[in-house]
Structure 1
Amino acid sequence: MKKYTLLFLLLFFGRWLSAQDTTDLWTKARMNPNLGSHKYIELKLHGGTHLYASDELKNALNDGYKSLELRMGWQSTGEKAWQRVFNYPSYGIGFYTGDIGNPTILGNPSGIYSFFYAPFHRRKKNYFEAGLSLGITYDLNPYDSTTNPLNDAIGSKLDVYFNVGITGVLKVSDSFDFLYGADLTHFSNGRTHTPNLGLNMVGLNLGVRYHYNTIRTIVKKQIDPTYTAPRRPTFINAPIPEQLHYNEISGYAAFGIVQASSDEHLEAFYGTASLILEYNRRISHKSSFGGGLDGFYDGSLGWTYHQLYGQVRPSDKMLMGIHAGYVLHLRDFEVRAQIGTYTWKRDGEKGDYFMRLALRYNIGKYGFVQLGLKTQDGVASDWIEWGGGAKTRF
């Protein structure tokens, strides 16, 4: 009998201790003002006009464009120093669908992308966000010399989707925000298929954002019916560590593929290459500035010069250049914007200057992969650079 009594007491005491531990853990957990995961669903309506420099599509683009976007975002709290540097940004994934003009010529495009919002000019009820989105758009109706000869803007069914804009955020309630803003959207395939003037759409947008916390319902039903998880985070206002200034040298190699002409008798594709040596100086948590040397190879110049001059030397497909650039640091990612000029080329076929917009992901201290778009004489796509490289700091 004593054995059974002792066993009962041990079991009861164990369950009591377990209950006490669970209660203590929940008591401590609910003291965290950012318990759970703060997310939002965003719906935006866009409208505006096309920035188009040619003549073929003017009638197809006369009515401008209209589009709808659905986004799901994660709101940061400032737990990490980089989040405080960017004033508590949010980021996520989105879906796009739109009417960009005559669907018989242009198609009915949709797209998927990732996005990043960096807030600025924060006030209690209203603030602004600088937004950047990058992804792909599909269901386009590309150029065809027989069935779609007017479409000199789009050469492929699948294009890069790029969007940049400024959004105003007006807090309406604890759950909802009203959104308003202006943005620029760009479609391009980077000359992997021609013609490829691309589409540039600029306009205004209106929308609504709904905030929620993923643990809100679970906690109420299964743990504590008296607890209501906050829909919005309490921003952590801890000091930002000082950023060390340093110098960085990197070497980058990339390749690409381009189509020389959309002529119905020529559907050949050519290889491209980029070799870059670059120096940058880190000056703050967000920014670096620098410059570098560029070496290019464009196989399609062989076809171009054969048409112009009748003969081609191996060196005709090569170019040399220099560039200056800016780097925006986003944790392990870098957004790189550069402008450069050629120091050596055969003639003016490539224009006088080039630009590069690239996204780099750093792998440890010494390596990286990078995806970029090199342009020709402004925003005209030259080719997409796929590559990687190595770096060192001092």
Structure 2
Amino acid sequence: MYKSLTFSVLSLVFVLLFSIGAVAQEASTVIDTTGAKKKYKAWIGASYEAGTVFRLNNSYPAGNGFFNYNAADIRLGWQTNGSKVWHGLSNYPYYGVGLTSAALFDDVYQVGKPAALYFFYGGNIKRWKRSGVNYEWRMGLSSNFDSNTASTWEQIIGARKNIYMHLGFEYAYQLSQRFDVAAGIGYTHYTNATLAVDSRGLNMFAPKVEFRYHLSDSRPVMVPVQKKKFKGEDELVLAFSAGAKEMEYDRAVAPEYWGKNFFVGTFSAAWLSGMSHSLKAGLGFDMGYDASIKAEMMVDNDVEKPVTVEGSDYFMLGTFGTIEYSMDRLSLVGDLGVFLLNKDVPKAEPRLYQRIGVRYHLNNDMFAGVRLRASEFSQAEFVEWSVGYRFRWTHN
């Protein structure tokens, strides 16, 4: 259930930003305008939220009623002002880095006091003179998970270092030239990315309040945009991705494989065509290696049996459709794929697979990224880290 909920929220993030990007594209396809200052306006924020942990099975502590989760954040953010093309295309977003510290349940020693360092990106849904409604997503790495109750800790999170994700909405109001206040709601998820399959993850829902202090005595002026016809661009994207996953079965069966992480690697090649300044889509192929195949073949319906594994059994071939929404150097990427060739084993992935993630361009063509791979549009399987390069050319 928790993996289904996680992938559903990630899908919501992608659909939300894709839709908002499409609206911004329809409103104005822009070029740089004169008079814009290149210096962004920075702000610092402090927030507090208190809410509930979704109890996904009986291993979760009862907690103290609804409010069994609370967290405090400090953040450094920058507000874009239209000095670059993508500001206008994305409706003048804000972004930055933050640090969160959380406490869960009555006894913090059930899972520890997790802390996460994350990147955040927010955009405007509706803006008025002194206020606005915003969306925001975050992604980062967390640590400081620990427990004096090993069985409870294993079933809830299972790893001491995890991935942190958040999706929220807020109403922000300008109190003065330097101070803002924001109130909203958000969903937070900690996942070990299937590095410990016994766990159920942590899923929280909470209202929040945040105060922001702007470091400059003047607010950024949103530079008007000018329309320009989109000329179009094609690109060939080559990438290598690597991750790890763990099998799911009774730990009493084949104990040499229980708790072991198996390497998964994929080489991808995709052709994408630009649909607008921010949106592109295309088709690609995957060739992958999955080291867990031998263990999956040996453990059939929780019964260990001897098997002979050939070298070709570890490899798979797939094809996928892909779409990418770009925000300057940062991109959101979504893939829908189908296996053309893979070993038919009892616990192998279904024919269809999906990926959702982010990609950061180190320069114009080289990038690094992280993606969550799933199947059946609901079952999150593992996280893969990628590096790659793209070759670009303009439309004829």
Same fold (TM over 0.5): yes
Partner Cα distance (1:363, 1:190) in 2: 25
Partner Cα distance (1:376, 1:191) in 2: 13
Partner Cα distance (2:142, 2:172) in 1: 26
Listed one character per residue, the Cα deviations across residues 181-217 of structure 1 (whole Å, up to 9, x for unaligned) are: 222212112223443432222332222222221xxxx
Provide the secondary structure at the position in 2 that maps to 1:151: helix
**8 Å contact from structure 1 (residues 129, 167) kept in 2:** yes
Q: How does 1:214-229 map to 2 (within 5 A)?
A: none
Instruction: Say if 2:293 is the partner of 1:293.
Output: no
Partner Cα distance (2:55, 2:244) in 1: 25
Given residue 173 of structure 1, which amino acid in structure 2 is its aligned partner? S
Instruction: Say if 2:175 is the partner of 1:177.
Output: no
Partner Cα distance (2:240, 2:181) in 1: 45
Partner Cα distance (1:390, 1:368) in 2: 6
Instruction: Say if 2:322 is the partner of 1:335.
Output: no
Q: Using the TM superposition, name which of 146-155 and 40-49 deviates more.
A: 146-155
| Partner residue, 2:299 | 307
Given residue 211 of structure 2, which amino acid in structure 1 is its aligned partner? V
2:137 paired residue among 132, 149, 153: 132
Deviation, structure 1 residue 253: 1.6
Aligned length: 345
| Partner residue, 1:71 | 75
| Partner residue, 1:226 | none
Q: Which runs of 5+ in 2 are unaligned?
A: 1-34
Instruction: Say if 2:320 is the partner of 1:323.
Output: yes
Percent of pairs with identical residues? 20
Given residue 382 of structure 2, which amino acid in structure 1 is its aligned partner? W
Partner Cα distance (1:380, 1:249) in 2: 29
Deviation, structure 1 residue 378: 4.1
Provide the secondary structure at the position in 1 that maps to 2:169: strand
Quick one: structure 1 residues 175 and 390, their matched pair in 2 at CA, closer, same or farther if it must change by over 3 Å?
closer
Deviation, structure 1 residue 35: 9.2
1:232 paired residue among 219, 222, 232: 219
Partner Cα distance (1:176, 1:356) in 2: 39
| Partner residue, 1:21 | none
Q: Which runs of 5+ in 1 are unaligned?
A: 1-31, 214-229
Partner Cα distance (2:169, 2:277) in 1: 22
Deviation, structure 1 residue 157: 0.9
**8 Å contact from structure 2 (residues 296, 345) kept in 1:** no
Q: Using the TM superposition, name which of 59-68 and 319-328 deviates more.
A: 59-68
Backbone CA RMSD of aligned residues = 2.9
| Partner residue, 2:59 | 56
Q: How does 1:1-394 map to 2 (within 5 A)?
A: 38-51=41-54, 53-57=56-60, 59=62, 63=66, 64-101=68-105, 102-141=107-146, 147-149=150-152, 151-213=154-216, 230-239=217-226, 241-260=228-247, 263=251, 265=255, 266-308=258-300, 309-314=305-310, 315-345=312-342, 346-347=344-345, 349-352=347-350, 353-394=352-393
Given residue 137 of structure 1, which amino acid in structure 2 is its aligned partner? S
Quick one: structure 1 residues 104 and 149, their matched pair in 2 at CA, closer, same or farther if it must change by over 3 Å?
same
Partner Cα distance (2:390, 2:378) in 1: 28
TM normalised by structure 1 equals 0.77
Deviation, structure 1 residue 327: 0.9
Quick one: structure 1 residues 297 and 133, their matched pair in 2 at CA, closer, same or farther if it must change by over 3 Å?
same
Listed one character per residue, the Cα deviations across residues 15-40 of structure 1 (whole Å, up to 9, x for unaligned) are: xxxxxxxxxxxxxxxxx996975222
Higher relative contact order (CA 8 A, sep 6+): 2
**8 Å contact from structure 1 (residues 50, 201) kept in 2:** yes
Of structures 1 and 2, the larger Rg is shown by 1
